[in-house]
Amino acid sequence: MNPVVSLSSLGEFGLIDQIRARFPQPVAPELGIGDDAALLSPSAGSQVVVSTDLLAEGVHFDLGFGPARLLGRKSLAVNLSDIASMGAVPRWFFLSLAIPAGFSLETIEGFLDGLAEQAAEHNCILAGGDTCGSKGGLTVSVTIMGEQRPDLILKRSGAKPGDEVWVSGSLGDSALGLKLLMEGARLGCADDPLLLRQLDPIPRCDLGLKLAEAGLLHAMIDISDGLLADLGHICEQSGCGAEVLLGQLPLTPAFQSYCSKQPVFPWPLALSGGEDYELCFTAPAGNHAAIQQLAKTAGIQVTVIGKVTNSRQVHVILPDGTNFQPSASGYTHF
């Protein structure tokens, strides 16, 4: 750690060395950091799955909300979640950083440490990238590549009317955590479990892979834009609709405790808050028991929250059977 050293004393190649030091490099003849491009050899018969996410300071993250290490973890987690949602195995990633002049080296080191932790936890290899200055804030771009047999890959487009709609884990904690952070809460308080769902989301890689390899599902997506928006993507690309039972949404005790104290229960946090990084998937009802069993082996709770319908819309149904009208559906950037 060099608490008061600025990036300018390190230089571009010094920064690349800092990055290289934290990540195991691919085994020859694959090329990692240090040539014009990375060389990657997918196994015969596999398909390369690629995703990219851009995180911009002041838009996706606020460095005041928590340690840079967690931002590093999250930068890869959001990409891992995309790979999980396809049922693929994460393999390589590429990191691009635009860093403001005078940025603290300690922050960058913390960021890289967290990124390296997350990479090691998922056996995902840093294979290249780019670094440059920024006149605005810190900008992080990660491109991830995974692999899977073409016939096992899960897309958004396979849902069928009658399918059960499932979600992993719980919904709304991340959006509530962001709300609390914006209201001034910081780590080290009773709300830590909620804040950490926002600052350090856990991608459901193991569950996504197991579900895909078991061949039990018709469609899958990760919930980054909010349940209704992302389930909407499945419906749109599958040419169907869905009914979501409000009373079935999996909510943590911490979420319920906070929300039941509000004048109006803030359902939009769970329905459209986003950044849950849970998996939403559809499957024939006949696979219900097998899915429950498989999720148990992965150690992740999964819950049926509704069903796929013939309509072209996503409806949220109240316990009395009437339609709930959510006030917003997903985060929009512009």
**Per CB under 8 A, which of residues 24..43 are in contact with its own copies?**
29, 31, 34-42
Cβ atoms of 316 and 324 within 8 Å: the answer is: yes
For residues 213-232, which are near its own copies according to CB under 8 A? 221-222
- The residue (of 141 and 251) whose beta carbon lies closer to its own copies is 141
Give the one residue of 73, 74, 122, 156 binding its own copies; rule: CB under 8 A: 156
Is residue 5 close enough to count as binding its own copies by CB under 8 A? no
Q: Which stretch binds its own copies (CB under 8 A): 63-71, 151-159, 240-248, 315-323?
A: 151-159
Token readout for 4 is 């008061």
Cβ atoms of 139 and 56 within 8 Å: the answer is: yes
Q: Cβ of 262: how many Cβ atoms within 10 Å? A: 9
- The residue (of 158 and 246) whose beta carbon lies closer to its own copies is 158
Task: Spell out, one character per residue from 100 to 119, where the chain touches its own copies: x when CB under 8 A holds, - when not.
Answer: -x------------------
What are the backbone angles phi and psi of residue 51, rounded to the nearest 5°?
-140, 155
Q: Which of 211, 218, 171 is nearest to 298 (CA)?
A: 211
For residues 34-93, which are near its own copies according to CB under 8 A? 34-42, 44, 47-60, 82-83, 85-86, 88, 92
- The residue (of 134 and 256) whose beta carbon lies closer to its own copies is 134
What's the rounded Cα separation, in Å, for the pair 16 and 22? 10
Give residue 156's Cα distance to chain centre. 16
- The residue (of 73 and 156) whose beta carbon lies closer to its own copies is 156
Is residue 17 close enough to count as binding its own copies by CB under 8 A? no
Give residue 7's Cα distance to chain centre. 29
Q: Which of 78, 118, 87, 114 is nearest to 274 (CA)?
A: 78
Cβ atoms of 126 and 191 within 8 Å: the answer is: no
Q: Which stretch binds its own copies (CB under 8 A): 95-103, 209-217, 267-275, 282-290?
A: 95-103
Position 270: which residue type? A
- The residue (of 325 and 332) whose beta carbon lies closer to its own copies is 332
| Minimum separation from the CB atom of position 189 to its own copies (A) | 27
| Minimum separation from the CB atom of position 162 to its own copies (A) | 23
3-class DSSP assignment, residue 121: helix
**Pairing state between β 89-100 and 125-134:** parallel
Is residue 132 close enough to count as binding its own copies by CB under 8 A? yes
